């Protein structure tokens, strides 16, 4: 690690990456390679002698990039976006450059403290109740993904309950959510040892726009209590993966409170939109929640990974996840003067991820971030109008935020699909930083052309 | 995200980071700030309008760097190292630049395939049995940390057993390891719902150099079987955190096999040394293991995070961790033609982490990597000699790899401590990329001076 060699080589990498962005539209957005393609192109073992950086760049160009699906392409409309930005990228660079491992405050006080401060900033931007701020009993923490966020709160809630009702009651604990909830919840339950038959993924339908019905929820809870089971965890979603359904947080939260349950809100995708006052109402009722999650790496220009979890009672997390081996003990921790984020998460080690979120907030500022969100929503609205005007397509659920459905088609561009009430549906998610009106127009043309081709084939 | 703006700003960040490395020795290696220092320096909320990059650089210099503990400093001897290198840094840059989320093969085939190939390369370098290669029933996967690695195999083993003996038998499952095992195992058990009283952290002492005794293990297993409990998981460690103890893998593995248990080997730190033929014997017996873990981010020049887990039976992991919601289904996955790493880990999303390991292996080559390891071990040997020659210090456990103990002292440089057999011990871990002979010499001088000062104070 020679500073001048680092400088020279890293400048070359900057140019390589800038050139990539300049030419990103030249690549097929969805990689067209076949399974196993790379093994045929690379040697069977690592080299004994060093190779040149130029040789590696050549290989990246010729062998790696053809196998990349270009999430940053303006033509990427699949799943959910994974935003990269200049600020996010610079933050990743700095984090990799410092390469600290911030598990405890002492291992880099700035890493812990900047995370607390920046997550307070973000909580204020989306107007979370003060209970979620680090200045009280709560606070925010950056997890890798929403899967880890929901897992740690399931664990905190599980252990809270088991302390009260006895540790052999695990098989009686019941989780509630809608059938539109992200699969991460079921995975978290599986990891935590919650019995699969105690995971109530309650059926939704178009009458509630696929939101969880408080009536259905209440009924399920009553039945379970009658059967001697113990309701302990409720997950509400704001912006479900299949149809951006919004669960009624206020009503759900009251039910959770009445039954002494933990109430978690998954706003992984849609949370970002709440920095705009006109969309903030989607999380009305969040004051009833015990924990709230949004992914800054989806639609908030912060490079992956940066999943933000806020919690009202940080003690619950720490009781579930803390360890204190001798070799990690230090004065500041022992005196309870500091936050040690190792006790808020699954792994011990952690990167300095708050840098990138801090740089996004500062280099862009709130107003630009709001414009960014609004522009995508406008583009999605445009797309919705295209679809409405073409009788061959149907819109199945109302457009909320920037997710639009186009039905009965195949896609040459990269979009993904889901199933709602048994119907196969195309998902068209607008959210890539480079996406402009022209790209949405072109995508619609692709969809129309493919639909025409399909129809003429099936008729002919 | 404008390519030319990215180029311009990222070049500035490269210079900032290169300058940081150039001046890294000017910083106190352990941050000297007080808890809460940063909140006094930063505003209470995010800016509405954008700020300049220069303003942010100024703040990093004035407000962030004083709160950084410099893991890349040559004077860093605490915990374990967290290696940064030019190759590792370039790999991180490229990964952040592409910013793909490689949860399934289709989301970027190159990310999955490069990971499989590079982990096969690394498995061959440390001469793991062929069962661990991806070309058979096994394979490698990059986890974030060793904590996640041990968690996923505990889950795989747990679910394997519960399928056989019934899901209500969770409270009967017993885990075995030595009391020197990393706290990550106990955390994994807690997460998986293994009862704390069923975690046998078997006592070790200096007669086995703190390695787990097969006799003690056998006795514990027999007792548990007699009590109607179910032994299901054994963790052996090669290079424990407190004293780099090496558990006898061959003997432990046979006991595990005789009892039908899962045998995991944690070589998070020491695994890297096994690329040198003269240290490979420390993992003799690994052929008995079901899973093996080493952290390339510790002592293998690959920036954090990059924890490599190899497994012989990938099906066991997948059975425990797979989810397949409609919105992630695709042809290649449905046809079982590909690996989807989402089913080998806790989170859904994942970064393109194999790039950095690939670049480390190629830019340095095996011979340079071997020299790198050997040089640190030589420096640690030198340090051991210093300590031996000073009657005021005692070496408590033999030096293995690069960990040296100095007893009864305080430290102004950043080293850490542990407790062995009730004795408080200083840990001096040589492994930072920039550490040279002069730094070890200077560190020894600091230790001597501090010891002298302490002794004269206590005498005075």
B19-73 tens-digit pLDDT? 999 999 999 888 889 999 999 999 999 999 999 999 999 999 999 999 999 999 9
What residues 165-204 of chain B have any CB closer than 8 A to a CB of chain A? 167-168, 170-171, 182-184, 186-187, 190-193, 195
Chain A residue numbers with beta carbons less than 8 Å from the beta carbon of B140 are none
A14 and B15 within 8 Å at the Cβ level: the answer is no
Of B64, B79, B85, the CB nearest to A114: B64
- The residue from B359, B389, B420 where one domain ends is B359
How far apart, in Å, do the first and last CA atoms of chain B sit?
65
What distance in Å separates the CA atoms of residue A31 and residue A20, rounded to the nearest whole number? 15
Chain B residue numbers with beta carbons less than 8 Å from the beta carbon of A329 are 417
Q: Is residue A136 part of a domain?
A: yes
* B117 contacts: CB under 8 Å, gap ≥ 6: A38, A39, A42, B134
Lowest-pLDDT choice from A153-162, A385-394, B173-182, B365-374: A385-394
DSSP A293: E
B69 and A109 within 8 Å at the Cβ level: the answer is yes
Residue A151 shares a structural domain with residue A235:
yes
B363 and A192 within 8 Å at the Cβ level: the answer is no
Residue B40 shares a structural domain with residue B103:
no
**B362 reaches A (C-beta below 8 A):** yes
Which carries the bigger pLDDT value, residue B209 or residue A418?
A: B209
**A41 reaches B (C-beta below 8 A):** no
Q: Is residue A368 part of a domain?
A: no
Paired tokens of B63: 């407000």
CATH of the domain at A24: 1.20.1340.10
Residue B242 shares a structural domain with residue B341:
yes
Domain coverage including residue A48: 3-79
Paired tokens of B165: 């003996």
B3 and A18 within 8 Å at the Cβ level: the answer is yes
Chain A residue numbers with beta carbons less than 8 Å from the beta carbon of B116 are 39
Paired tokens of A372: 């960014």
The string of DSSP letters for B95-143 reads HHHH----SSGGG-HHHHHHHHHHHHHHHHHTT--GGGSTTTT-EEEEE
pLDDT in tens, A326-339: 878 777 788 888 99
Residue A71 shares a structural domain with residue A178:
no
**B309 reaches A (C-beta below 8 A):** no
Percent of chain A with pLDDT over 70: 94
Backbone angles phi, psi at B142, to 5 degrees: -90, 115
Nearest residue in B to A432, CA atom: B1
Query: How far away is chain B from the Cα of A340, in angstroms, using its nearest Cα?
Result: 12
Which carries the bigger pLDDT value, residue A30 or residue A172?
A: A172
Say whether pLDDT at A428 is over 70: yes
A20 and B84 within 8 Å at the Cβ level: the answer is no
Chain A residue numbers with beta carbons less than 8 Å from the beta carbon of B55 are 362
Sheet with B307-311: list strands edge to edge.
B139-143, B307-311, B291-295, B262-266, B230-237, B173-178, B199-202
Residue B195 shares a structural domain with residue B330:
yes
Q: Is residue B38 part of a domain?
A: yes
Chain B residue numbers with beta carbons less than 8 Å from the beta carbon of A38 are 109-110, 113-114, 117
Residue B348 shares a structural domain with residue B297:
yes
pLDDT of residue B448: 79
Percent of chain B with pLDDT over 70: 94
Say whether pLDDT at B455 is over 70: no
For residues A356, A357, A358, A360, the Cα torsion angle rounded to the nearest 10 degrees is: 90
B94 and A16 within 8 Å at the Cβ level: the answer is yes
Q: Which helix (H) or strand (E) holds A420?
A: strand A414-420
Query: How far away is chain B from the Cα of A252, in angstroms, using its nearest Cα?
Result: 24
Which carries the bigger pLDDT value, residue B334 or residue B286?
A: B286
Whether B267 contacts B54, CB under 8 Å: no
Residue B140 shares a structural domain with residue B198:
yes
What distance in Å separates the CA atoms of residue A203 and residue B240, rounded to the nearest whole number? 49
What residues 371-430 of chain B have any CB closer than 8 A to a CB of chain A? 416-419, 427
What residues 315-344 of chain B have any CB closer than 8 A to a CB of chain A? 320-321, 323-328, 332, 337-338
Q: Is residue B73 part of a domain?
A: no
Residue A42 shares a structural domain with residue A132:
no
Backbone angles phi, psi at A340, to 5 degrees: -115, 105
Q: Give the mean model confidence (pLDDT) for residues A426-451.
A: 86
Q: Is residue A336 part of a domain?
A: yes
pLDDT of residue B61: 98
User: Which of B33, B34, B101, B332 best tests the A interface by mutation, with the highest count of A CBs <10 A?
Assistant: B101
- The residue from A328, A343, A359 where one domain ends is A359
Lowest-pLDDT choice from A10-14, A187-191, B331-335: B331-335
Residue B319 shares a structural domain with residue B383:
no
Residue A301 shares a structural domain with residue A268:
yes
**B41 reaches A (C-beta below 8 A):** no
Residue B271 shares a structural domain with residue B322:
yes
Q: Is residue B86 part of a domain?
A: no
Residue A107 shares a structural domain with residue A128:
yes
Q: Residue B426 in 3-state DSSP?
A: strand
Q: Is residue B74 part of a domain?
A: no
DSSP B308: E
What distance in Å separates the CA atoms of residue B292 and residue B312, rounded to the nearest whole number? 9
Pairing of strands B76-77, A414-420: unpaired
Q: Give the mean model confidence (pLDDT) for residues B2-9.
A: 97
pLDDT of residue A405: 63
pLDDT of residue A408: 28
CA-nearest of A30, A13, A16, A39 to A68 is: A30
pLDDT tier for residue A399 given thresholds of 50, 70 and 90: very low
**Average confidence score pLDDT of chain B:** 92
Q: Which helix (H) or strand (E) holds B185?
A: helix B183-192
CATH of the domain at B106: 3.40.640.10
Nearest residue in B to A162, CA atom: B193
**A366 reaches B (C-beta below 8 A):** yes
- The residue from B341, B359, B377 where one domain ends is B359
Total of domains in chain A:
2
CA atoms within 13 A on the CB side of B58: 8
Q: Give the mean model confidence (pLDDT) for residues B434-451.
A: 86
Nearest residue in B to A93, CA atom: B93
B93 alpha-carbon distance from chain centroid: 21
Q: Is residue A306 part of a domain?
A: yes
CA-nearest of A271, A275, A274, A251 to A263 is: A251
Number of A–B residue contacts, CB under 8 Å: 455
**Average confidence score pLDDT of chain A:** 92
- Give me the count of residues in chain B: 460
What distance in Å separates the CA atoms of residue B106 and residue B125, rounded to the nearest whole number? 29
pLDDT of residue B395: 53
């Amino acid at each position: 690690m020679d500073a001048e060699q680092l400088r020279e080589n890293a400048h070359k990498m900057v140019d390589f990456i800038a050139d990539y962005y300049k030419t990103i539209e030249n690549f097929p957005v969805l990689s067209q390679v076949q399974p196993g393609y790379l093994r045929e192109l690379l040697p069977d073992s690592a080299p004994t002698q060093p190779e040149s950086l130029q040789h590696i760049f050549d290989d990246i160009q010729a062998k790696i990039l053809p196998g990349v699906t270009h999430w940053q392409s303006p033509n990427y409309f699949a799943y959910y976006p994974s935003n990269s930005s200049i600020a996010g990228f610079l933050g990743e660079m700095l984090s990799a450059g410092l390469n600290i491992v911030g598990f405890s405050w002492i291992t880099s006080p700035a890493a812990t403290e900047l995370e607390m401060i920046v997550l307070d900033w973000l909580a204020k931007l989306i107007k979370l109740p003060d209970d979620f701020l680090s200045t009280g009993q709560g606070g925010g923490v950056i997890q890798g993904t929403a899967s880890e966020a929901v897992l740690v709160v399931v664990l905190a809630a599980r252990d809270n309950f088991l302390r009260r009702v006895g540790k052999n009651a695990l098989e009686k604990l019941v989780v509630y959510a809608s059938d539109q909830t992200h699969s991460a919840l079921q995975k978290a339950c599986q990891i935590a040892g919650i019995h699969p038959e105690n995971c109530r993924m309650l059926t939704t339908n178009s009458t509630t726009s696929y939101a969880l019905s408080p009536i259905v929820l209440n009924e399920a809870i009553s039945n379970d209590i009658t059967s001697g089971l113990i309701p302990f965890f409720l997950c509400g979603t704001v912006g479900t993966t299949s149809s951006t359904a919004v669960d009624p947080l206020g009503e759900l939260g009251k039910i959770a409170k009445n039954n002494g349950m933990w109430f978690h809100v998954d706003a992984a995708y849609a949370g970002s939109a709440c920095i705009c006052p006109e969309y903030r109402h989607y999380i009305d009722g969040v004051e009833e929640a015990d924990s709230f999650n949004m992914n800054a790496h989806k639609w908030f220009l912060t490079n992956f990974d940066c999943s933000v979890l806020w919690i009202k009672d940080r003690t619950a997390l720490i009781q579930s996840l803390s360890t204190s081996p001798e070799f990690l003990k230090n004065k500041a921790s022992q005196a309870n003067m500091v936050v040690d984020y190792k006790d808020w998460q699954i792994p011990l080690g952690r990167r300095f991820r708050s840098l990138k979120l801090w740089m996004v907030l500062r280099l862009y500022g709130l107003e630009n971030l709001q414009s960014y969100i609004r522009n995508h929503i406008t583009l999605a609205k445009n797309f919705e109008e295209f679809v409405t005007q073409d009788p061959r397509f149907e819109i199945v659920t109302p457009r909320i935020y920037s997710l639009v459905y186009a039905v009965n088609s195949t896609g040459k561009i990269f979009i993904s699909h889901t199933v709602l009430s048994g119907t196969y549906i195309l998902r068209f998610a607008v959210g890539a930083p480079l996406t402009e009106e022209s790209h949405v127009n072109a995508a619609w043309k692709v969809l129309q052309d493919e639909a025409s081709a399909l129809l003429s084939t099936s008729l002919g």
